Structure 1
């Protein structure tokens, strides 16, 4: 039996949802999803295909859209997009079991349909048409689909070929991959080849997948190490990874992190408030997940490009999720590593190599009873926030002018959750 995988992508997902909710045709309407309240330079999360057809880039800034163009700016509504994504997943479940679905992103999912084609007496192409038709009929959204004999070929078929197909479906096997795409440029169009890898390949005289396929393997391993294995397999259209292996994968090392791009330049003291708010948020997340850590990292990015970003980490004497200890540790990290007279625009923190809460260690410098009381308070705060909303309980620092926790608590993924229009 020949394996058959498909990956379905929703065309201009966020923008299409906004069009459908307004009774507009997602394929012909001029609409951009962006939060104009942030700044004139805010990036569009999505634009409709009709705007792309005018030469406007998908991730453009508002000021880059031609002034004469009459278009709608829709503020992002992340909760709405998550809900629609769940509805789409429900449609997939009506055709295949959850074990054969891998959600790749909010608008892309892999489906292993190998064992379903006989049951439906359909080809992979016809099954894709039926699923895409259901999505359009029930939700008003257009989809594209890549089909392949492995996961890689399905993704490449989607990314490079499907958008040029009359029915937005493209299929590849190893032979058709070589025939259709061995001479395709640029290499960055292919899954898992970024600009840096492309530059290194170009410097060695490789500009296409065909070039990689015939390049001496020993030299590839010498220049790219373990990455050479992926480059060689993908150049020949091979991908050994299966859906089951994806489902069974468990990361050896886990971390929890949070980060944000600030909407204006913050000075040294203002950004410290942001770091403290994020440390409090991280502690809440760790307690909710029942994990602890003894290694913390901090990242600070500056507004002036002439100043490189700074990063610092620290090893704690304890393994903990105590907001008291995390707050103190991040404050010290910030004070010792951050430039004082340069405007700040990005901040990120993480708790690395997290472990189950049963591995918690107590500190000689903090009374264990105080740490246990802190944990119970944090657990209570999480319960109240879960029931009444994240802004149900706030700290005094959240009310300072530089604080933005109240606004961030109303967001999903750094964008407005939104409401029904």
Structure 2
């Protein structure tokens, strides 16, 4: 309300009724206006709320199913709720059982509050088209660092790096590369993204650039059996550096400290 942003929300005891309540709230908004409604269905009132609504409001009721329901005289969700479940099952199979339960406002599906990430990415849209290579590389380094920090925060590694470029004509180009071993190392991700830039960009005007990683997996990076003591010491030093960077960014913001370009 403070920002005057349009919003619509359905609140109920399960996902099915909440989604339908949200749809009802949107439809009730004045035509030509953005949806701005909160529709609450109190516990125990699910079936009564659904009863007068057209059968098409139920999940899984498309045009063909709606036509079959209407041929039986079932115009509203309440009509479906009053129809014998055995008859619905005989006519529609398992879908008929779902129809009977949903028409009564019953939905046992759990609400997923967390969903595992399949990719992590950062994108920057410039306020003007650019072809400054130094600027592009600076932005890509920052994006790669942010992506690596997010990997480490979630204790993940990535096997693939993707570079996304959008030209001045809004054509979008992507190219990706895969590591021999999954990593969360910012230097490796940065180097891979910059190599992709060198392979993909020939000086064209750029409107957007993005760096992303995918092929995410849990756990620490796989270490080489033949890692030399000096390499191990360098890796552990980098680990301490990244932990310090992550602490500073969490406390003071992402722009609190950044790596400078290597000579």
TM class by shorter chain equals: 0.5 to 0.7
Quote the residue 1:361 is aligned against: 222
Q: State the Cα distance separating 1:329 from its structure 2 match.
A: 0.8
Q: Is the 8 A contact 1:304 1:342 kept in 2?
A: no
Query: SS of the counterpart of 1:325?
Result: helix
Larger radius of gyration: 2
Query: SS of the counterpart of 1:324?
Result: helix
Cα distance in 2 for partners of 1:278, 1:250 equals: 23
* 1:316-331 equivalences in 2 (<5 Å): 316-331=179-194
**RMSD (Å) for aligned C-alpha atoms:** 4.0
For residue 128 of structure 2, the aligned residue among 264, 285, 305 is 264
Q: Is the 8 A contact 1:151 1:242 kept in 2?
A: no
Quote the residue 2:11 is aligned against: 111
- TM-score normalised according to structure 1 size: 0.43
Q: Is the 8 A contact 1:112 1:243 kept in 2?
A: no
* 1:186-201 equivalences in 2 (<5 Å): none
Q: Is the 8 A contact 1:298 1:350 kept in 2?
A: yes
Query: SS of the counterpart of 2:11?
Result: strand
Q: Is the 8 A contact 1:259 1:346 kept in 2?
A: yes
Query: SS of the counterpart of 1:156?
Result: helix
Q: State the Cα distance separating 1:248 from its structure 2 match.
A: 6.7
Quote the residue 1:396 is aligned against: 260
Quote the residue 1:314 is aligned against: 177
Query: SS of the counterpart of 2:258?
Result: coil
For residue 246 of structure 1, the aligned residue among 100, 106, 111 is 111
For residue 335 of structure 1, the aligned residue among 195, 198, 207 is 198
Cα distance in 1 for partners of 2:235, 2:178 equals: 19
Cα distance in 1 for partners of 2:18, 2:65 equals: 20
For residue 283 of structure 1, the aligned residue among 137, 144, 148 is 148
Aligned residues: 215
* Structure 1 residue runs without a partner (length 5+): 1-15, 19-25, 27-45, 49-106, 115-147, 183-190, 192-208, 216-229, 398-421
Quote the residue 2:243 is aligned against: 379
Cα distance in 2 for partners of 1:382, 1:294 equals: 21
Query: SS of the counterpart of 1:393?
Result: coil
Task: Say if 1:262 and 1:109 are closer, same or farther in 2 by CA, change over 3 A.
Answer: same
Give CA-to-partner distance per residue, 1:225-269, whole Å, 9 cap, x none: xxxxx9xx99xx879995752237644x63222222222112151
Q: Is the 8 A contact 1:152 1:239 kept in 2?
A: no
* 1:126-205 equivalences in 2 (<5 Å): 150-163=17-30, 174-178=50-54
Give CA-to-partner distance per residue, 1:377-407, whole Å, 9 cap, x none: 011011122223333313335xxxxxxxxxx
* Structure 2 residue runs without a partner (length 5+): 42-47, 69-94
Cα distance in 1 for partners of 2:111, 2:121 equals: 23
